Amino acid sequence: MSHLATLKHPEAAARFAADVPRTHWHDESLWFMRVKRDRAAAQVPEWERLRELAQAIKAYALANLPALLEQFEKNATAAGATVHWARDAEEHNKIVHQLLFAKGVTRLVKSKSMLTEECGLNPYLEARGLEVVDTDLGERIVQFRNEPPSHIVLPAIHLKKEEIGELFSQKLGTEKGASDPKYLTEAARGHLRQKFLHAQAGLTGVNFALADTGAVVVCTNEGNADMGTSLPPLHIACMGLEKIVPHAQDLGVFLRLLARSATGQPVTTYSTHFHGPRRGSELHIVIVDNGRSALLGRDPYRRALSCIRCGACMNTCPVFRRSGGHSYGVTVPGPIGSVLAPAIDARAHAALPFASTLCGSCADVCPVRIDLHHQLLAWRGDLVAAGHGSTGKSLALRFTAWIFASPARYALAGKLARFAMRVLPAGLMRLLAGAWGRQRELPVAPVESFRDRYRRTHGRA
Amino acid sequence: MAAREEILTALRRNAQPGAPRPVLDGVGAKFPDLAARMAEAVGAVGGTLVRVPDLPAADAALRALPIHRDARRIASLVPGVGAATFDAATVKDPHELEGLDLSVLPGTLAVAENGAVWIEGARLPHHALVVIPEHVALVVAVADIVPDLHAAYARLDLAGRPRWGLFMAGPSKTADIEQSLVIGAHGARSLVVLLVG
Ligand code: SF4
């Protein structure tokens, strides 16, 4: 994660929002996804029941995680896969590298995996001389630009087609100035087809791992996971240990929710179930902890482990839409990312739970009903208690509390404020109002307070 | 194995048992006409559906389509449907399938709610037959349409089944450039479902 921005969210967001038309465009692009999600959800009369079931299945899976993982391992092994366990990112990267090294692999194609992004796998392998090609179109675009995805489902949502056209003209030799998405996609198809044909191994993420059958299930629209695994003789599937669901039957619930929540589609184009390796090839499954087992022991945050990475909470979040995924500085941004990140490093990510209006829209759209805004609020309390709050903010709050604690101080403060608003220039007042005043007109100060008026009309306070 | 034990021990320590096992009842889509809904759903995910009475009619319908007429290399895993130009079962290395114009594949199950068709890996010599060709035709029987994914999984009975399988819903697509939908990302540029019966 070292390649991500080290700016704190407020500063990074301010930088993003400084380009007003672009912020507006980003906001609308994501809102469009939210609208599509709403339309898709409305077409399923039992939508809310499905969400409740999804929540319940995940709660059951988390409660029985150790047993389910063992069951999964047993069944996956019986189907011919090899299961590996990694405590952290470093161990995960080592395992993957050793598997590739043992087979003499120098060219690897990947389909989308937020986990390998979290572990920093690409730079790890590249430093050891491998060519690593992300094959999801959006991921290939950001890989070309040497930047992380800005959204877990739409990695290049922050870019305009003209910028991608410019990038492709440099990297793929497309016509200069061309920005037609169809033309650019076609160019990427040709380029990546060659990568698929020459790859010696394919790596995928995992959307769901089925305890009762030992299968891993991978969902894509482009077909890149199927391309990447059906040609070379080695498939490595990397999964966070929370991806377990107990039964194949449970997928009925999750697959009905996932794509509708993510993009408004009824289902992803390819939902591929891998039961062991295909003939003549090997399947290795790497199960990664990297902080997850610790999170399982933390109330109320353990529920965040139910996330199925649909991205809906990002698309609806008024802060995400106006600050962009990169401003969060973590692999999984947005509301869910702001819950997950402080659990890994409270000091580094202390600003994230504050990057929310607590409007609760995220929790309303979340297909597994994670109470995201409650968790963000809980984090604020925990972070401040642990000394990670912003000093300015806690001083201001302590000062406010001191004023509110005494009627005399409160009355005096009101008087001073009304006086200041009348005599001081508006520009100075806005500065005093801090961030709140930056994009707002301050109200006109009333001549007298309610208390003064009551005293005048009723004779006493 | 130290990692495995350490992770499982941490999970055993931290898991909070007691969550009840959910019962998946009270859900399920209902459609008065499964075939009509299937046609609509395949269209919604960017594919086309052609209804035919029997396999010879499926063959005739497919041969009349440009994806077949203009194809130079065709693989068919459905006996009697499509003019296969070679026997895919004799291909050893899936890389040799590059340049394939059309795959005709059997569908085991069709899902009316979302237009997806289940392709059973055990019935195909190569997984690549699904993604490598320019176009895909899936042949599935009307009797094999189920209303939704719950019914699909109930019928598939995946437990203990070897190899791979997938739901395919429409042709390959992407919207990664400014969310403009482009059909034909990596896999098939078009998908036709031949619904038989
Ligand atoms: S928290 Fe919920 S809405 Fe957000 S990505 Fe995860 S599953 Fe989707």
Does the residue B20 lie in any domain?
no
Same domain for A188 and A323?
Answer: no
| Ligand 1 contact, A367 CB (< 6 A) | yes
> What is the distance in A from the centroid of ligand 1 to the CA of A69?
22
Question: What's the pLDDT at A263?
Answer: 96
Domain boundary among A389, A420, A443: A389
Q: Which residues contact B38 (CB under 8 A, 6 or more apart)?
A: B49, B110, B111, B112, B115, B145, B193, B195
Domain boundary among A363, A389, A415: A389
| Ligand 1 contact, A109 CB (< 6 A) | no
Q: Which residues contact A213 (CB under 8 A, 6 or more apart)?
A: A75, A79, A248, A275, B158, B159, B160, B161
Q: Is the pLDDT of residue A461 over 80?
A: no
Question: What's the pLDDT at A423?
Answer: 84
The CA distance from A49 to the nearest CA of chain B, in Å, is: 7
| pLDDT tens per residue across span B160-186 | 666 899 999 999 999 999 999 999 999
Q: What is the mean pLDDT of chain B?
A: 95
Angle between helices A161-171 and A137-144 (to 10 degrees): 70
Same domain for A114 and A239?
Answer: yes
CB contact under 8 A, A226 and B114: no
| Ligand 1 contact, A308 CB (< 6 A) | yes
Distance in angstroms (rounded) separating the CA atoms of residues B16 and A49: 24
Same domain for A263 and A167?
Answer: yes
Question: What's the pLDDT at B26?
Answer: 81
Q: Look at the pTM and tell me if it is higher than 0.80.
A: yes
Question: What's the pLDDT at A5?
Answer: 43
Confidence of residue B25 (pLDDT cuts 50, 70, 90): confident
Same domain for A368 and A228?
Answer: no
Same domain for A78 and A225?
Answer: yes
Does the residue A401 lie in any domain?
yes
Confidence of residue A394 (pLDDT cuts 50, 70, 90): confident
| Ligand 1 contact, A333 CB (< 6 A) | no
- What domain range includes position B43? 31-196
Of A66, A213, A263, the CB nearest to B160: A213
Does the residue B118 lie in any domain?
yes
Any B CB within 8 A of A90 CB: no
Q: What is the ipTM of this complex?
A: 0.97
Q: Which of A133-137, A323-327, A389-393 has the lowest mean pLDDT?
A: A389-393
| pLDDT tens per residue across span A326-342 | 999 999 999 999 999 99
Same domain for A381 and A432?
Answer: no
Q: Which residues contact A450 (CB under 8 A, 6 or more apart)?
A: none
Question: What's the pLDDT at A4?
Answer: 43
CB A351 within 8 A of CB A40: no
User: Mean pLDDT throughout A153-174?
Assistant: 96
Domain boundary among A258, A290, A322: A290
Q: Is the pLDDT of residue B47 over 80?
A: yes
Confidence of residue A6 (pLDDT cuts 50, 70, 90): low
CB contacts of B127 in chain A (<8 Å) are 226, 229-230, 278
Does the residue B2 lie in any domain?
no
Question: What's the pLDDT at A2?
Answer: 37
| Structural domain total, chain A | 3
CB A333 within 8 A of CB A150: yes
> What is the distance in A from the centroid of ligand 1 to the CA of B191?
31
Q: Which of A21-30, A284-293, A426-435 has the lowest mean pLDDT?
A: A426-435
| pLDDT tens per residue across span A164-203 | 999 999 999 999 999 999 999 999 999 999 999 999 999 9
Percent of chain A whose predicted confidence (pLDDT) is above 70: 98
Question: What's the pLDDT at B162?
Answer: 63
CB contact under 8 A, B153 and A249: yes
| pLDDT tens per residue across span A43-102 | 999 999 999 999 999 999 999 999 999 999 999 999 999 999 999 999 999 999 999 999
Percent of chain B whose predicted confidence (pLDDT) is above 90: 92
Does the residue B14 lie in any domain?
no
User: Mean pLDDT throughout B50-59?
Assistant: 98
SS3 label, residue A397: helix
CB A69 within 8 A of CB A244: yes
Same domain for A410 and A380?
Answer: no
Question: What's the pLDDT at A392?
Answer: 76
| Ligand 1 contact, A309 CB (< 6 A) | yes
Paired strand residues for A131: A107
CB contacts of A202 in chain B (<8 Å) are none
H runs (alpha helix) in A43-180: 47-63, 65-78, 89-102, 114-119, 121-127, 137-144, 161-171
Same domain for A136 and A251?
Answer: yes
Does the residue A120 lie in any domain?
yes
User: Mean pLDDT throughout B30-59?
Assistant: 98
Same domain for A280 and A207?
Answer: yes
Same domain for A200 and A331?
Answer: no
Same domain for A255 and A348?
Answer: no
- What domain range includes position A283? 74-290
Candidates A286, A386, A373, A367; CA nearest to A335 is A373
Question: What's the pLDDT at A460?
Answer: 64
CB contacts of A255 in chain B (<8 Å) are 149, 167
| Structural domain total, chain B | 1
The CATH number of residue B67's host domain is 3.40.50.10420
Protein residue whose Cα sits closest to atom 4 of ligand 1:
A313
Q: How many CB pairs under 8 A join A and B?
A: 259
Return the number of other C-beta atoms located less than 10 Å from residue B64's C-beta: 10
Protein residue whose Cα sits closest to atom 2 of ligand 1:
A366
CB contacts of B168 in chain A (<8 Å) are 269-270
Candidates A27, A260, A262, A37; CA nearest to A158 is A27
Does the residue B55 lie in any domain?
yes
| pLDDT tens per residue across span A12-57 | 999 999 999 999 999 999 999 999 999 999 999 999 999 999 999 9
Does the residue A182 lie in any domain?
yes
Interface of A with B in 277-316 (CB under 8 A): 278-279, 287, 289, 293-294, 296-297, 302
Nearest atom in ligand 1 to the alpha carbon of residue A339 is 1
> What is the distance in A from the centroid of ligand 1 to the CA of B90?
45
User: Mean pLDDT throughout A105-109?
Assistant: 98
Same domain for A305 and A272?
Answer: no
Q: Is the pLDDT of residue B61 over 50?
A: yes
The CATH number of residue A376's host domain is 1.10.1060
Does the residue B19 lie in any domain?
no
Q: What is the mean pLDDT of chain A?
A: 93
Does the residue B26 lie in any domain?
no
CB contact under 8 A, B19 and A230: no
